[in-house]
């Protein structure tokens, strides 16, 4: 079975920031999000970014004054992050985010796992286990920010073919295949080189995480929910450790 790491290594990493509309646009979205929600350092100023990718959250957090530890399994995306971050205080770690406690201090002020990273985990038990570990790893009054796509609502028939992005020489299409607990995400890229169109394809599974289950799981672990916001199918939660 293709796991998330193989999928990013084999296909997705070089197209990732382009397919989302470009690097600067995503940085700006996250800068605005953190500013609007008062995410700025007031305690130790240590932030951990789990599934940091190319840095769409790490870079704005470092600009806001955090010292960031960015963890991801994609070497290529972390290299992009390093290049784009310049001299900002961001340490990158290539590892499974579930091992995050091995790479940070005993406690952090902020832990983020954003941009749909959570759905890359294998099972609800992994998500719940992560919440428990994050709770332990936060300072008192520290916060967790998660955002992910609600995949519990099933698209039907042709709606499952999603035209992600295209331009003169690249066409990126995604096809969704629904399973009970997961969605099989097939990414198909046509890229023109000289006078030929080359097709690349790969798939991975994303977890269908129910929003209400997530709220309940966070509360059960001990978090207080500050923000629970669904916009265009994307759920963002800010949870605090009291």
Ligand X SMILES: C[S@@+](CC[C@H](N)C(=O)[O-])C[C@H]1O[C@@H](n2cnc3c(N)ncnc32)[C@H](O)[C@@H]1O
Which residues lie near ligand X (CB under 6 A)? 4, 8, 51-53, 56-57, 71-74, 77, 96-97, 114-117, 120
Q: From residue 104, give the alpha-carbon distance in Å to each of 49, 97, 110, 149.
A: 11, 11, 11, 27
Cβ closest to ligand X, residue 55 vs residue 142: 55
Q: What is the distance between the alpha carbons of residues 208 and 37, in angstroms, rounded to a whole number?
A: 26
Nearer to ligand X, 132 or 224 (CB): 132
Measured from the CB atom, the residue of 71 and 239 that comes closer to ligand X is: 71
SS3 9: helix
CB of 42 to ligand X, least distance (A): 23
Nearer to ligand X, 46 or 118 (CB): 118
Q: Length of the chain in residues, anyone? A: 242
CB of 233 to ligand X, least distance (A): 14
Q: Which residues pair with 162 in a beta bridge?
A: 174
Task: Compute the least distance from the CB of residue 157 to ligand X, in Å.
Answer: 25
Q: C-beta of 76: minimal distance to ligand X in Å? A: 9
Residue, CB closest to ligand X: 115
- Alpha-carbon distance values, 72 to 10, 43, 55, 77, 163 (Å): 15, 25, 10, 8, 26
């Amino acid at each position: 079975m293709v796991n998330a790491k193989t999928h990013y290594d084999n296909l997705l990493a070089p197209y990732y920031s382009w397919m989302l509309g470009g690097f600067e646009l995503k940085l700006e979205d996250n800068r605005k999000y953190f500013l609007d929600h008062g995410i700025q350092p007031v305690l130790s100023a240590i932030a951990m970014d789990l599934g940091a990718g190319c840095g769409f959250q790490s870079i704005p957090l470092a600009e806001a004054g955090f010292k960031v530890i960015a963890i991801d399994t994609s070497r290529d995306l972390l290299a992009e992050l390093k290049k784009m971050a310049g001299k900002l205080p961001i340490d990158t770690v290539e590892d499974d985010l579930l091992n995050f406690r091995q790479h940070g201090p005993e406690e952090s002020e902020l832990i983020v796992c954003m941009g749909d990273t959570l759905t890359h985990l294998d099972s609800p038990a992994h998500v719940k286990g992560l919440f428990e570990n994050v709770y332990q790893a936060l300072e008192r009054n520290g916060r967790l920010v998660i955002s992910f796509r609600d995949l519990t609502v099933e698209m039907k028939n042709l709606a499952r073919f999603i035209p992600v992005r295209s331009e003169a020489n690249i066409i990126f299409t995604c096809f969704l295949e629904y399973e009970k607990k997961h969605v099989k995400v097939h990414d198909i890229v046509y890229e023109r080189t000289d006078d030929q169109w080359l097709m690349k394809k790969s798939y991975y599974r994303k977890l269908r995480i129910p929003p209400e289950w997530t709220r309940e799981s966070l509360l059960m672990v001990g978090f207080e929910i500050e923000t629970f916001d669904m916009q265009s199918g994307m759920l963002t939660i800010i949870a605090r450790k009291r």
